[in-house]
Structure 1
Amino acid sequence: MRFIIFVVLLLSSFSGSAQILQPAKITAGTGTTQAKVGDVIDLIFKAQIDQNWYIYSLGFDEDCGPIPISITLDKHPSFELVGGVVAINDEAKHDKIFDCDVRIFKVSGEFRQKIKILSKDLVLKGIYEGQVCTEVDGKCVLFDGDLAFGKISVTGEDKKQDVQKPKAEEKSVINTTPVTEDAIDTVKSVIEPAKVYSDKVTGPVLDEALIQQSAQQQSYWLFFALAFVAGLAALLTPCVFPMIPMTVSFFTGQGNSKFKALMYGFFIIAIYTLIGAALAPLMGPETANHLSTEWIPNLIFFAVFIVFGLSFLGLFEITLPSSVVNAADRQADKGGLVGIFFMAFTIVLVSFSCTGPIVGSILVSSAGGEFIKPIVGMFGFSLAFAIPFTLFAFFPSWLSSLPKSGGWLNSVKVVLGFLEIALAFKFLSIADQAFHWGILDREINIAIWIVIGLLIGAYLMKWFLLPGDTGKDVEEKRIGIPRLSMAMITFIFVVYLIPGMWGAPLKALAGYLPPLYTHDFNLLAASASTTETCDEPQYGDFLHLPHGLNGYFDYKQALACARQQSKPLFIDFTGHGCTNCREMEAVVWSDPQVLERLQNDYVVVALYVDDKTELPESAWYTSTYDNKVKKTIGKQNADLQITNLKNNAQPFYVLVGNDEKVLVAPYGYDKSVEGFVKFLDEGKKRFAEKL
């Protein structure tokens, strides 16, 4: 059904390629090189964040999901903390998946902590931990590092403080994400795997040949195709279609007309593509985060789309000043390449009232995080727009085969206007979720689309007229087969939407409707899993799988069960603060095809890389990757992913055989149910081949 709404874009797919991402780091300093005992100074922590990424700051409800920054100083009698850590000029963001307000830093950030100097021998050391995410392709990464401070010259006498010397491993925590007492009290001993293969569990082994290719180019090609279709639609508007024979007549009867026709088409493409290139910096990756979280730009775009739609319906006409068009037209009379360029420029200006809303829709939609997308979109649009002018200039005899201009052109314009209005509600939905207004829940949005679809169908059937409908087409009550076919497609689309009023997922439109959790009345709630586990899941009292699935939260225990049941292992590298993990679970895992395979074909284990539950000291180990001691569930799961699979982004799905070898290429953030089902089926097939 997506082809009906041709200007809606496919969200970029996540690449499952093996790579260790390091999009953020924090450096420490004091802002001074000299101080006295008794002085209170600022410790300054500066965050450097790669473009397109953001880190979670402080000052929001830590229980809502995302992980705030945590800074830990080694305790030392040479200083004491004064107050808590402060974030400097961070910004608010509404997390749509967790439905809570958080605070973030983009590009750069700064935190400060005051300390009082107690001794001339000032010793400052520490570590930091946090979460960095991007909405460009759905990745979230945990990051950490050591804090090193510059030398400070301290003068004066040491303060007499009753300070107990800390133990070697003792830390002074400025800010951390707390773990609930129930979670800590219920940690159980590590369960050893079944001794089917060996006593030693090494973790999944990734064959480098299984590295998955990026799906980004596919996204570009689909976006190009959608923009190309938009260009073809623009040709069928009353501002453009009549211009084809008028423009082509300029080239006929002139010397070297074919070369001039080629240059004319080239200049049309160049003008539109240059517009895309000029706006690309404004539509780049940083804009994606802004559009996804801020209510002001989304309300502006909602209003812009409504204005475009009402213009197409005939309420008013959007035109450029006549002086601009006339000036370009005078330049076109000069002849030569300059004249051809300005003639192309003139057609762009003259057709603006019809192409402007379509071009604007492409540019707004391309603000999805990719610098190249506006250029790709404008090139696709202009290519479709220029081809007919060039071809008819080459072969003027084809003009006789063109249908005559008439009221049908206005019908195309009206249908486009209705689609513009329908798409406007996508932007209103984002603002509505950010401020919890509750005015555009999912069923209300679907109801609006149903009404708009019915109006399009009724208009195509000529059951009512609009201001721009004039001429013989108005008097003629008969409906042609193409028009009837479009009406039928529209009514079919409406029928497809209707089950969504009662909770049907409408997966073809999942990215364009408000999330399912906003639906007040859902008759299609997920049923509980019938899958039996081998034993009681470790950490199952505070960790859970979605949709009633039964599974594990410890790799060794899950592998032992997989070997016992002779099933492959489905590993879900996830996180409490992973927004896109929740989105994959809501959109993809909820599909009956996926749930059936996860329940029956695999042993499922969810490995949370950000869980703070500390393990018994006997389970601690030193990582071979960074030589740091891994003490918590999250640290050990993250180390397993990095060390064995050379990847540290979530969500990340891996299928493993009983020999711990990865069966197929890992799968990342990609909301294609078909792709996920294929991934699961291929893993099951490879596992069966090894038996």
Structure 2
Amino acid sequence: MRFLFLFLGLFFANLTSQGQTGDNPALWSHEVKKLSDSEYDLVFQGEILEGWHVYSQYTAEGGSLPSEFTFEGAGEDYELVGKTTESKTITEFSDVFEVDETFFKKEAIFTQRIKLLKSNVTQVSVNLFYQICKEVCIPKDELFQISLDGSDFVSQEKNLDERSLALGTSLKLDLKNKALLNQGTLQGEQGKSNLWMVFGLGFLGGLIALLTPCVFPMIPLTVSFFTKQSQQKSKGIANAILYGFFIVLIYFLLSLPFHLFDSIDSQILNTIATNIWLNVFFFIIFVFFAFSFFGYYELTLPSSWANKMDAASSKVGGGMGIFFMALTLAIVSFSCTGPILGGLLGSTTLADGNVATNLSAGMVGFGLALALPFALFALFPAWLNSLPKSGGWMTTVKVVLGFLELALAFKFLSNADLVGNWGIFKREIFLGIWIVLFVLLALYLFGIFRFPHDGPKQKISLTRKLIGLVSIVFSVYLVLGLFTVTNLKLLSGFPPPDFYSITETESDCPLGLDCFKDFEEGVAYAQEVNKPILLDFTGWACVNCRKMEENVWSDASIYPILKDEYVLISLYVDDRKELPEEEKFDFKYDSGRIKTIETIGQKWGTFQTINFNAASQPYYVLLSPNLEILNKSVQYVDADVYEKWLKSGLEKYQLSMNK
């Protein structure tokens, strides 16, 4: 249970930090006290915000994580004299972990004596890992760079070669009017609703999972178990509701490891989502999922897992017994829910925004949809009589899901092709594959061919015919888009962009616009023609980037502004094309972490992070040619908001020119 609370703390801390970038509930400083030519006391002092607390190094095991110091060079350059001492602490019993915990409030002071082993040592680096808690606990790292002789600390950048130092320095811009970036990012209603959209997709996935043969028959059995097992009807209802709650909790917990990844590096999930070989792996997995839905084999977790969970539910009883019952359901239904969950994972990696938070929202929506029937039918048991009987229709549901899994699989293969610059899955090929898939789906629904797990041939139902007709209509829509009769705006972001085509295009930029894919070249041109800059942080595999380009940039009132009034600089943060050897370098962040820059995407991703404190795409900034920020940054917004934003930037640029 300890790890459960730690994971929950990490999750909510991650959500909180997104809205409070830069807020730190503990401010740290250090002091050096010289005792002799070779001995020093290092004093670390933290001022803790009201209501928060930091744990002692010596808090009891089994509770929250203790503070921990790492002294770099200890044992080689100097030795530690005794243990690190602490200022006054508080000890209280924790109801959560059921141990006495020791912590600091308002102020924490640590003192460590050191003795030099080398006379030429003049500086020491110390890292403090600590956990600071209020309603939730946030793990933090603090790096102390200490000068023993009172001089300025010499940065570790001296360990980097001169070329890396020069190239790293060139990434940092001397931005003017940077205070505008601290006013937040303009997202509009589309950006704000993204989380709800992912939640809705998860909920829809859960509803579909309910209709599969792994889950649907479990509803009346489980509800009857709770209502008949309990002597009191109210207790049976309460147990069914608790069962539903645990289902939601289990699926939510599956998303928590992704928050750990996100806390390590703000760009790590974007890197994973746009990794070429991971996208190929997703393609293979989704094809594998699809053929399981087609009935060629069945995906199952080891039966021993379900048996152990089932035995635990009987042995433990009470609330924990119900938890293990919910876990048993999650395991035994995996053959149907696994591919749907895989689709949910794939959809959230394709969506822009915080991948981990999106995934949690989707998982909660999925779990809620699965849990609702158990609670509702426990409250209203008479409704069980209205449930349709299990039958061949559930097999049809699985086959439809199989075709959707295949369609999504080719999206991942397309991502790998785009990011890797393979030039294989051009727009026309991608659309052609989708057309074939949805025509095949229609033929299956009309009974033209069958799969191994289909039952005896029966009369085709009206619902099945209607879904088949929808598939035919969608195929026609794709054909019209293939021959540019229509623009496929409903699918913006899924097919490769228009300029990624078999036929030669005038420009390799969106909508045939002129654009630069190198920042310095774009700025030089903007200075030459005396126009403001639209800086576009984008990605080959960025769905919302394509939606903005195809739905917003193409707007009749916006396109002329982009074409005539601005210099467009599009920087692809997921471009895996390697930089020339002379342009590869190591970049050191202020925290001390060193990152190797080897690809175009790594360069522009780092460039975005250090200058604009952002890591998501699309991300738009308006700049003057002399790097003055003209307006707040913008992400995924509608056409009206974007047009006003562009015109406001032009007005501010004209005013600055007239001064």
Q: Same fold by TM-score, threshold 0.5 exceeded?
A: yes
Q: Report the alpha carbon displacement of residue 476 of structure 1 after superposing the two structures with TM.
A: 1.7
Task: Give the Å deviation of 1:593.
Answer: 4.5
CA deviation profile, 1:161-198 (whole Å, cap 9, x unmatched): xxxxxxxxxxxxxxxxxxxxxxxxxxxxxxxxxxxxxx
Please give the per-residue CA displacement for 1:49-101, whole angstroms capped at 9, x wherever unaligned.
xxxxxxxxxxxxxxxxxxxxxxxxxxxxxxxxxxxxxxxxxxxxxxxxxxxxx
User: Shift of residue 648 of structure 1?
Assistant: 9.8
Q: Which residue of 1 aligns with 2:642?
A: 676
1:586 is displaced (CA, Å) by: 7.4
Are positions 1:240 and 2:215 aligned together?
A: yes
Deviations 1:89-142 (A, max 9, x none): xxxxxxxxxxxxxxxxxxx9974249xxxxxxxxxxx974548xxxxxxxxx94
RMSD: 5.2
Does residue 411 of the first structure (1) align with residue 396 of the second (2)? yes
Of 478, 488, 501, 1:506 maps to 488
> In 2, Cα distance between the equivalents of 1:590 and 1:484?
33
1:273 corresponding residue in structure 2: 252
**8 Å CA contact 1:553, 1:607 repeated in 2:** no
The one-letter amino acid paired with 1:553 is A
Equivalent in the alignment of 2:499: 517
Structure 1 residue 306 and structure 2 residue 274: aligned?
Answer: no
* SS of structure 2 residue aligned to 1:511: coil
2 CA distance for matches of 1:222 and 1:110? 47
What does residue 534 of structure 2 align with?
Answer: 572
Specify which of 287, 291, 305 is matched with residue 324 of structure 1.
Answer: 305
CA distance in 1, matches of 2:448, 2:556: 45
Rounded Cα–Cα distance in structure 2 between residues aligned with 1:671 and 1:520: 31
Cα distance between partner residues in 2 of 1:588 and 1:595: 14
> How far apart in 2 are the matches of 1:279 and 1:205?
32
Matched residue, 1:359? 341
Correspondence list, 1:297-446, <5 A: 297-334=278-315, 335-367=317-349, 370-446=355-431
* Partner residue, 2:458: 475
DSSP 3-state at the match of 2:249: helix
Cα pair 1:653 1:668 within 8 Å, conserved: yes
Structure 1: gaps of 5 or more residues: 1-16, 21-32, 34-107, 115-125, 132-140, 146-202, 532-541, 546-551, 559-569, 611-641
8 Å CA contact 1:277, 1:375 repeated in 2? yes
1:27-46 paired onto structure 2 within 5 Å? none
**Rg comparison, structure with higher value:** 1
Tell me if 1:263 matches 2:242. Answer: yes
Q: CA deviation at 1:348?
A: 1.3
Could you tell me which residue of structure 2 aligns to residue 553 of structure 1?
A: 526
Q: Name 2:139's counterpart in structure 1.
A: none
Q: Does 1:143 align with 2:172?
A: yes
* Aligned AA (1:386): A
Counterpart position of 2:472? 491
Task: Measure how far apart 1:557 and its partner are.
Answer: 5.0
Give me the whole-angstrom Cα distance separating, in 2, the residues matched to 1:18 and 1:322.
45
1:204 and 1:274 map into 2 onto residues whose CA distance is: 42
Structure 1: distance between partners of 2:277 and 2:181: 45
**Structure 2 portions without partners, runs of 5+:** 1-18, 23-76, 78-156, 514-519, 572-607, 654-659
C-alpha separation between the residues in 2 aligned to 1:582 and 1:250?
Answer: 47
Partners of 2:344 and 2:406 in 1: CA distance: 15
Distance 1:19 1:573, change over 3 A: farther
Judged with a 3 Å threshold, the aligned counterparts in structure 2 of structure 1 residues 406 and 259 are, in CA distance, closer, same or farther, namely: same
| Residue in 2 that maps onto 1:251 | 226
Shift of 1:236: 0.9
Residues 487 and 648 (structure 1 numbering): CA distance in 2 closer, same or farther, change over 3 Å? Answer: closer
**Residue-by-residue CA offset, 1:132-158 (whole Å, 9 max, x unaligned):** xxxxxxxxx94169xxxxxxxxxxxxx
SS of structure 2 residue aligned to 1:475: coil
Q: Counterpart amino acid of 1:257? A: G
**SS of the residue aligned with 1:297?**
helix
- Give 1:339 deviation, angstroms: 2.5
Q: Residues of 2 paired with 1:409 and 1:486: CA distance?
A: 14
Residues 280 and 373, structure 1, Cα contact 8 Å, conserved in 2: no
Shift of 1:232: 0.8
Letter of the 1:501 counterpart = L
- The amino acid across from 1:396 in the alignment is P
Cα offset for 1:225? 1.2
CA distance in structure 1 between the aligned counterparts of 2:241 and 2:306, rounded to whole angstroms:
23
Q: Greater share of helix residues, 1 or 2? A: 2
Q: Residues 384 and 111 (structure 1 numbering): CA distance in 2 closer, same or farther, change over 3 Å?
A: same
Offset at residue 247 of structure 1 (A): 1.0
How far apart in 1 are the matches of 2:162 and 2:561?
52
CA pair 520-110 structure 1, distance change in 2 beyond 3 A: farther
Local SS of the residue matching 1:500? helix
Tell which deviates more after alignment, 272-281 or 239-248: 272-281
Can you list the C-alpha shifts for 1:631-656, whole angstroms capped at 9, x where unaligned?
Answer: xxxxxxxxxxx9xx999999645599
Tell whether the 8 Å contact from 2:499 to 2:507 is kept in structure 1 after alignment.
Answer: no
Relative to the length of structure 1, the TM-score reads 0.53
SS of the residue corresponding to residue 161 of structure 2 reads: strand
1:309 partner amino acid: A
Is 1:226–2:211 an aligned residue pair? no
Deviation at 1:676, TM superposition (A): 3.2
Conserved? CA contact 1:283–1:367, under 8 Å: no
Cα gap change, 1:338 to 1:212, in 2 (>3 Å) = closer
Counterpart in 2 of 1:172? none
Secondary structure in 1 aligned to 2:172?
strand
| 1:667/1:679 contact within 8 Å kept | no
2:282 aligned partner, one-letter code: F
Count of aligned positions: 447
Cα distance between partner residues in 2 of 1:437 and 1:402: 50
Q: How far did 1:588 drift?
A: 4.4
C-alpha distance in structure 2 between counterparts of 1:661 and 1:297, whole Å: 37
**Which of 555, 559, 573 is 1:594 aligned to?**
555
Greater length-normalized contact order (CA 8 Å, ≥ 6 residues apart): 1
Question: Percent sequence identity over matched residues?
Answer: 36
CA apart distance, 1:281: 2.7
How big is the shift at 1:596? Answer: 4.7
Closer, same or farther: CA 507–142 of 1 in aligned 2, 3 Å: farther
Matches within 5 A, 1:617-628: none
- TM-score normalized by the length of structure 2: 0.56
Q: Which shows bigger deviation, 447-456 or 361-370? A: 361-370
Match of 2:567 among 606, 613, 620: 606
Q: Deviations over 1:554-573 (max 9, x none)?
A: 49955xxxxxxxxxxx7524
Preserved contact between residue 273 and residue 382 of structure 1 (Cα < 8 Å):
yes
Supply the AA of the counterpart residue of 1:393: A
Provide closer, same or farther for how the CA distance between residues 476 and 499 of structure 1 changes in structure 2, counting only shifts above 3 A.
closer
Seen in structure 2, the aligned counterparts of structure 1 residues 522 and 278 have a Cα distance that, compared at 3 Å, is same
In 2, are the aligned partners of 1:298 and 1:431 still within 8 Å (CA)?
yes
User: Please, which of 151, 155, 161 is the counterpart of residue 112 of structure 1?
Assistant: 161
Change (3 A) 1:204 1:348: closer
Structure 2 Cα separation of the partners of residues 585 and 331 of structure 1? 48
Amino acid at match of 1:572: L
Contact (CA 8 Å) 2:426, 2:500: kept in 1 or not? Answer: yes
